[in-house]
Amino acid sequence: MNNRAFAIKLGSLTLAIAIAQPVLAGGSVKATTKYDGERPRRTVLKMDADQYCATSNKKKDGSPKKVGSQEAIVNKDGTVRNVIVFVKDGLGDAKFEAPTEKAELDQKGCMYHPHVQSVQTKQPMLVKNSDATLHNIHSFAEKQKAFNFAQPKQGDEKEVSFSRPEFVKIKCDVHPWMSAYVGVFPHPYHVVTGKKGDCELSDLPAGEYTLGAWHETFGEVEQKVTIADGEAVEVEFVFKP
Ligand SMILES: [Cu+2]
């Protein structure tokens, strides 16, 4: 090992320790979400208005793939996908630097991917067009300047960001079935439920918090939790019809 390699190794070792410390001290919240009502039916989206879209979603064997509506996906066991779980109150005046890691909003098969995501204020988000058809990305922001631009070509990319906390709806002006949501937060404690309707907030400093759970159709519920150092707390959010 030459001196340079040794110095780098030492440097990264120091960095690893510095990052690991708050993780060890932090607590976590495992959240599950439930919808306490009749399971909504998903409808098949009709994309016939644009022939490219109508034929762009295919199964592995090349046959046409049906795409279901996404505004209310409740699993058989009542758990809910695409819920943003976040710290609503309890962080005091703490300020958090925006992550440089880019969030991504892809337009593929004339759908937004992901349908719901959460970012931090001023975090860059790359908007991509993976389709060989025109999309127009229109944000319906109310607490900040909205964006509205076209991406006519496959491979088009543009970076955007959000300056204020808000749940921002995004729609395509060309394809009315396309919608996405971006939850914007002034801190890093936010996460979206996955296929099983659960998620985990990690590295939370010990403290008392009000947590929120937001869903585009079912609205917002909240609850209070107290987290001790290193503690893993389990919470369940229930949306009422
Ligand atoms: Cu579109």
Contact 197, 168 (CB under 8 A): no
Burial class (CB in 10 A: 0-12, 13-18, 19+), 71: middle
Confidence of residue 107 (pLDDT cuts 50, 70, 90): very high
Count how many residues are written for the chain: 241
Gap from CA of 107 to ligand 1 centroid (Å) = 7
What confidence tens digit (pLDDT) does each residue in 27-50 have?
A: 999 999 999 999 999 999 999 999
Gap from CA of 152 to ligand 1 centroid (Å) = 10
Compute CA 131 distance to the chain's CA centroid, rounded to the nearest angstrom.
21
What confidence tens digit (pLDDT) does each residue in 65-92 have?
A: 999 999 999 999 999 999 999 999 999 9
Gap from CA of 134 to ligand 1 centroid (Å) = 6
What confidence tens digit (pLDDT) does each residue in 117-141 have?
A: 999 999 999 999 999 999 999 999 9
Q: Which has the higher per-residue pLDDT, 211 or 1? A: 211
pLDDT of residue 26: 85
Within 10 A of 204 (CB to CB), how many other CB atoms are there?
A: 22
Contact 110, 133 (CB under 8 A): yes
Gap from CA of 98 to ligand 1 centroid (Å) = 29
Q: Which has the higher per-residue pLDDT, 41 or 26? A: 41
Tokens encoding 159: 């970076």
Gap from CA of 178 to ligand 1 centroid (Å) = 6
Average pLDDT over residues 173-179: 97
Gap from CA of 135 to ligand 1 centroid (Å) = 4
Average pLDDT over residues 138-149: 97
Region of 21 please: left (phi>0), alpha (psi -120 to 50) or beta: alpha
Tokens 């719901």 map to which residue?
116
140 by DSSP, 3-state: which? Answer: coil
Gap from CA of 126 to ligand 1 centroid (Å) = 16
pLDDT at 100 over 80: yes
β-bridge pairing 135-139 and 148-151? antiparallel
Q: Which has the higher per-residue pLDDT, 155 or 58? A: 155
Gap from CA of 136 to ligand 1 centroid (Å) = 6
| Termini Cα distance of the chain | 64
Average pLDDT over residues 42-64: 93
Gap from CA of 147 to ligand 1 centroid (Å) = 15
Gap from CA of 103 to ligand 1 centroid (Å) = 19
pLDDT at 186 over 70: yes
pLDDT of residue 24: 52
Gap from CA of 138 to ligand 1 centroid (Å) = 10
Gap from CA of 72 to ligand 1 centroid (Å) = 20
pLDDT of residue 25: 67
Q: Which has the higher per-residue pLDDT, 1 or 215? A: 215
Burial class (CB in 10 A: 0-12, 13-18, 19+), 92: exposed
Please tell me what DSSP assigns to residue 181.
E
Gap from CA of 110 to ligand 1 centroid (Å) = 6
| Whole-prediction pTM | 0.88
Tokens encoding 214: 């937001």
238 by DSSP, 3-state: which? Answer: strand
Gap from CA of 48 to ligand 1 centroid (Å) = 13
Gap from CA of 200 to ligand 1 centroid (Å) = 32
Gap from CA of 52 to ligand 1 centroid (Å) = 11
Contact 171, 216 (CB under 8 A): no
What confidence tens digit (pLDDT) does each residue in 208-229 have?
A: 999 999 999 999 999 999 999 9
Contact 185, 120 (CB under 8 A): yes
Confidence of residue 64 (pLDDT cuts 50, 70, 90): confident
The residues, ordered by sequence, that sit 6+ positions from 105 with a Cβ below 8 Å of its Cβ are 112, 113, 114, 117, 125, 126, 127, 128, 137, 170, 180, 182
pLDDT of residue 74: 98
pLDDT at 102 over 50: yes
Gap from CA of 111 to ligand 1 centroid (Å) = 7
The residues, ordered by sequence, that sit 6+ positions from 223 with a Cβ below 8 Å of its Cβ are 210, 211, 235, 237
pLDDT at 96 over 90: yes
* In the chain, % of residues over pLDDT 90: 85
